[in-house]
Amino acid sequence: MISWLLEADTRHTASSIRSALSLRTTKSPQEWSLLSTLAESISQETGGIVGLAPLLKQAFRGMDLSPLAQRWIERARTARDSNALLDLSIALELQRKPEIARAIQGDALKQAQRFRVSSTAPDIALKLLVVKAPGDLSANTPIECLLENTNVAIELIYVSSTVPLPEIVPEHDLLFVAVAESDENREILEALELRLASWPRPHLNAPREILKMERDRACALLAPIAGIAMPQTRRIARQALEQLATGAIPVDELLPSGQFPIITRPVDSHAGRELIKAESATELLDYLAENTAAEFFISQFIDYSSADGLFRKSRVVLVRGTPFLCHMGISEHWMVHYPYAEMIAHPERREEEMRAMEGFDVGFAHRHRQALAALAEQIDLEYFGLDCAESRDGHLVIFEVASAMLVHAMDNPEIFPYKATQMRTVFDAFRAMLFGSVPGLPKASANA
């Protein structure tokens, strides 16, 4: 709470947070230069937040965000600055301090509901109102990464189950629903669907469509599509998983595969957190002994390895139905969350990823054009992503569809020189989609 920062006699003082940040005492001149430049922009952009994109970029480059975090702590202590608190919460999350980050985010949102993302663009061509929910980075579309250094002004407005979209909102040309599907966000999305039915401005990513992306619901929608292989998925209570682990019920009572291995994860788990491939009931018992979740998703395991034994997993985004490749990770392990270490160690894999990007439209996208088109009809969103692969028999294997997948251009250009051009194509398409959604806006502005 804010008292963590303001009351010297509380358990969580500013000094304890600084300690939690593990402040380094030495920085390279380059680090200090970048951090000082960023800090200077904060003081100059009064009324705005630094926001996710610049901070994430620094974290990707291995920079220590602690000096900025310390600066924001001092600002929060002296001025009760909600912008400083929100930026501090992002920095703390990027430093893997989720509990403190969420508490400080809560303090920021008690003080303010609206936040303007600082911009250095000389001329603003589109005002975008982005509706977000409280939570970690997986709770919302990271839209700031798609629009960094553009002529789009971003105003964030946070809503929750108890704090609705206000009657008076900032002037805007377009509204974008960034709230992602989750149990925690379901009530928020349902309320937004009702509120936006009579919204006076164009709005993108309808909440009713976002709700379709719950894992088991998405499976029911997409698995029947010709050309798609999506692991059968069930949402079950802990008791049912315990019965499966003890042999009280067989696998085929829950999944049509009828056999191990199965994939198990808690509901609302993302990015592989607390996910396992259980090869046997015994492994499930061990898993349950360490995991206290009340509900789980279980799904079939699909062996999507290629003929060479490697696993190739792609992140594709659909921008008003048009697919774009954002990355293709190649790994020796079945659970592929872009394997930087392996990709860096194997230049031939980077070469393959580059070729996949260059030939995506006539290759992957062409091979799966009918499946992707049918998918876009089932989930009618202007923007969302899917993590997918190709099976040996030519099917499009879909692991997950989501509107909050991280899409960025922050990889080291010396190691991944081909990615900047590809991601610029993605960002340009997204921005063009925004401009094309507002009647009367000159399309040329989208290229500014």
**Per-residue pLDDT tens listing for the chain (448 residues):** 433 343 333 333 344 344 444 434 344 445 444 544 554 454 444 469 999 999 999 998 888 898 888 899 988 888 889 999 999 999 999 999 999 999 999 999 999 999 999 988 889 999 999 999 999 999 999 999 999 999 999 999 999 999 999 999 999 999 999 999 999 999 999 999 999 999 999 999 999 999 999 988 999 999 999 999 998 889 999 999 999 999 899 998 898 877 899 999 998 776 667 889 999 999 999 999 888 899 998 999 999 999 999 999 999 999 999 999 999 999 999 888 788 999 999 999 999 999 999 999 999 999 999 999 999 999 999 999 999 999 999 999 999 999 999 999 999 999 999 999 999 999 999 999 999 999 988 765 666 6
Helices (H), 45-182: 52-60, 66-79, 82-94, 98-111
**192 near 360, Cβ under 8 Å?**
no
**445 assigned to some structural domain:** no
Same-domain check for residues 189 and 295 = no
User: Using CA atoms, how far apart are residues 136 and 138, in angstroms rounded to an integer?
Assistant: 5
Partners of residue 48 on adjacent β-strands = 116
**Phi and psi angles of residue 266, each rounded to the nearest 5 degrees, phi first:** -65, 150
**448 near 434, Cβ under 8 Å?**
no
Same-domain check for residues 372 and 260 = no
**214 assigned to some structural domain:** no
Among 278, 300, 322, the domain boundary falls at 300
Same-domain check for residues 389 and 322 = yes
DSSP-assigned letters across all residues of 322-336: EEEEEEEEEESSSS-
What are the CA-CA distances from residue 54 to residues 65, 94, 352 (Å)? 11, 12, 29
**76 assigned to some structural domain:** yes
Q: Which residue is listed with tokens 């990889």?
A: 411
* 3 state SS of 319: strand
Partners of residue 276 on adjacent β-strands = 264
Same-domain check for residues 109 and 56 = yes
How many separate domains does the chain show?
Answer: 3
Tokens of 208: 């009713």
User: Using CA atoms, how far apart are residues 265 and 286, in angstroms rounded to an integer?
Assistant: 14
- Structural domain including 287 reads 232-300
